[in-house]
Structure 1
C-alpha cells in the first residue's frame, strides 16, 4: 500500500471505535519517514505567523494523550466549516505521543489549510529526550523515526492570528517583541536553547502578581503581567491572547480574571489533556468565530506511563505540571 493510501486510510478512521489500535497498525517505519518528509515541506512553506479567517476549534496541550484528542475530533470533525488550531505540546509524558503526533501530521498533510499546528516548548530535541517521546519513538519504531520528528518540529510555525483579532501562541508574549512584524524576522528553523524572543513565545507564562515582567521558575524566560499583555494586544489591534502551556483545573482559565480591570479577560489559557500526571483535571477546547465557546472534557483516568519515574509528592507533581 502506498503512503498516500495509508494517509487516506488514517483519516477515514476518525470517529470510529478503537481508532488508536487501528492507527497503530498503519504506522510503519516507512510511512512515518515519508510522513515527516512530506509534512516538513508543508510547514516550511508556512510563515512564522499565520493569518487565518473562519470558524476555529482551538486545542491546548495534548502531551501524548490520544483519548483526549480522539474525543475532540469525535465532537468536531464532521463539521466541515471548522478549522483546527493546535497550540503545541503534542508529545511527552503521555503513553501515546507517537500516535498523537502521527495523526496530527497526517491530518496536516491531507488537509493543510484546515489543520494548523503551532510549535510548543516540547517540540524540540532537548525536551523530547528528557520527557518521554524519544524513548517511546525508539521503543515503538526506531531512532531514525525519532530524528525525523525532531527535524520536523523545527519547521512548525510559531503563532496564528484568527480573524484579525485572536493571537494564538503556545507560551506568551516577550519583552523583546513590541509589534507582530518582529516575529516574522525570527529564524525559527532550529532548536531553542537560549533566552530570547522565540524562547519567550514558547515558554512565557502570565502571572497576576506581576505588574510588567518578572523572573520565571521555568528558567531563561519571563512571566508577564496584565499590563504588558494589554499593551501588546492594543499596539497590534488584537482583542485577545490565547495560549496553552499550563495545566488548569477546568481546562480553560482567564489568568487575570481577578484583576479589577476591564481587560482582565483578554488573556486565555487552554489545556486539552485531562488527568494530566494524575492531577484529575478536566480538559477543554474552544470554538471561536465571533466569540469563545468552551467545551469541557471531563477527566478520564490516564494509563500510567512506565517511561516516567515520578515522585508522588504534591511538590513534584506541581513541578512536572509546570514544565
Structure 2
C-alpha cells in the first residue's frame, strides 16, 4: 500500500471502530432478506462478485462472517472496502469477527506482510477487538464465524469471551471434543447443536471458518450450514457461496471461475 492508501485505510479503520463500539457482541436483525457471506481471505475477485450479486438481489442487510484477511493477495484492500461498506450503511452492513481478525493469527501471515507498517497493523487489530461476535436473524438463525462454545444462552456472549466462537468447528462426534486446531479449541457435535438451538429457541446456525471446495456444506439434518465465499481453498481453485435468508426460504448462490469470468453457476432454494 502506498502512503495515500495507508491514510485512507487508517481513516476507514478509525471511523469503523467507532461504529463497532456502538454494537453489541450479538447483533439482532429483523429485516429480511438478509445476505450472509463466509470467508473472503483477501480475495478481491470474490468480493467483486458478491457486491455485484448484492446489487442485483438488493437485500435489506448483509452479514460478513469474518476472515477478511490473510492467504489472499489483497487483504488490506478487501478489508478497506468492507469497512467502506460498513461506514456507508452502518445499520445494514455487519462485519463479524473471524479467527484471522486476531493478532495471534495475522501477525505471522500475509496481512502483516502486506501492510508493511507495524503501527497500522497494530491499530487494525485493536479495531478487530471491537467487532461483534455473532448475529441473530429474526430470533431464529444464529450467525457466527466458527461455532458455539457449549449449550449456553446467546446473552452470555461478549466481545471479551469470543475465542471459541471464532475457532470451534462442527463434528459428527457427539459432545465437545479436543480439536486438531489447538489445545483450547473444541469440536461440537449434533447433540451440542440441538441443545444450543433448543435453549435459545433457534432454528439453525450459519457459520464460516471451514475451507470448502463446493462453497457450502450442510450438517446435522440441515440444522447447521457452513459457507465459504473465497474462490481459493489453500491455493486450489474452489467454488464460493453466499446465502440469502427470506421469510420462509434460504437461497444459496454458488459462483466460480468459468471461461467467461467469475459468475453465478448455481442457485439452490431450501424452505425454512
| TM-score normalised by length of structure 1 | 0.75
Compute the displacement of 1:128 (Å): 0.9
1:271 aligns with 2:235: no
| Structure 1 residues 90-114: Cα deviation after superposition (integer angstroms, max 9, x where no partner) | 0001000011000000111111011
CA–CA separation in structure 2 for the residues paired with 1:204 and 1:81:
29
Change (3 A) 1:300 1:218: farther
Summarize the alignment of residues 233-244 of structure 1 with structure 2, pairs less than 5 Å apart: 233-244=197-208
CA–CA separation in structure 2 for the residues paired with 1:293 and 1:26:
42
Which position in structure 2 is the counterpart of 1:86? 64
Residue aligned with 1:77, SS: helix
Gaps of 5+ in 1: 1-23, 189-196, 257-263, 302-323
Which position in structure 1 is the counterpart of 2:265? none
Pick from 166, 172, 178: which aligns with 2:152?
178
Compute the displacement of 1:74 (Å): 0.8
Which position in structure 1 is the counterpart of 2:189? 225
Compute the displacement of 1:275 (Å): 2.5
User: 8 Å contact 1:274–1:300 — kept in the other structure?
Assistant: no
Change (3 A) 1:62 1:26: farther
| TM-score normalised by length of structure 2 | 0.89
Compute the displacement of 1:163 (Å): 1.2
User: 8 Å contact 1:274–1:282 — kept in the other structure?
Assistant: yes
Compute the displacement of 1:213 (Å): 1.3
Gaps of 5+ in 2: 260-272
Which of the pair is proportionally richer in strand? Answer: 2
Which one has the largest radius of gyration?
1
1:52 aligns with 2:43: no
Which of the pair is proportionally richer in helix? Answer: 1
Change (3 A) 1:289 1:26: farther
Which position in structure 1 is the counterpart of 2:14? 37
Summarize the alignment of residues 286-297 of structure 1 with structure 2, pairs less than 5 Å apart: 286-290=243-247, 291-297=249-255
Task: Report the RMSD for the aligned CA atoms in angstroms.
Answer: 1.9
1:119 aligns with 2:93: no
Residue aligned with 1:150, SS: helix
| Structure 1 residues 197-233: Cα deviation after superposition (integer angstroms, max 9, x where no partner) | 521100000011x111111011111101111101101
Summarize the alignment of residues 191-202 of structure 1 with structure 2, pairs less than 5 Å apart: 198-202=162-166
CA–CA separation in structure 2 for the residues paired with 1:39 and 1:214:
36
| Structure 1 residues 226-278: Cα deviation after superposition (integer angstroms, max 9, x where no partner) | 1110110111011010000001121010133xxxxxxx211110000112222
CA–CA separation in structure 2 for the residues paired with 1:299 and 1:241:
28
CA–CA separation in structure 1 for the residues paired with 2:37 and 2:203:
19
Compute the displacement of 1:35 (Å): 1.4
User: 8 Å contact 2:243–2:251 — kept in the other structure?
Assistant: yes
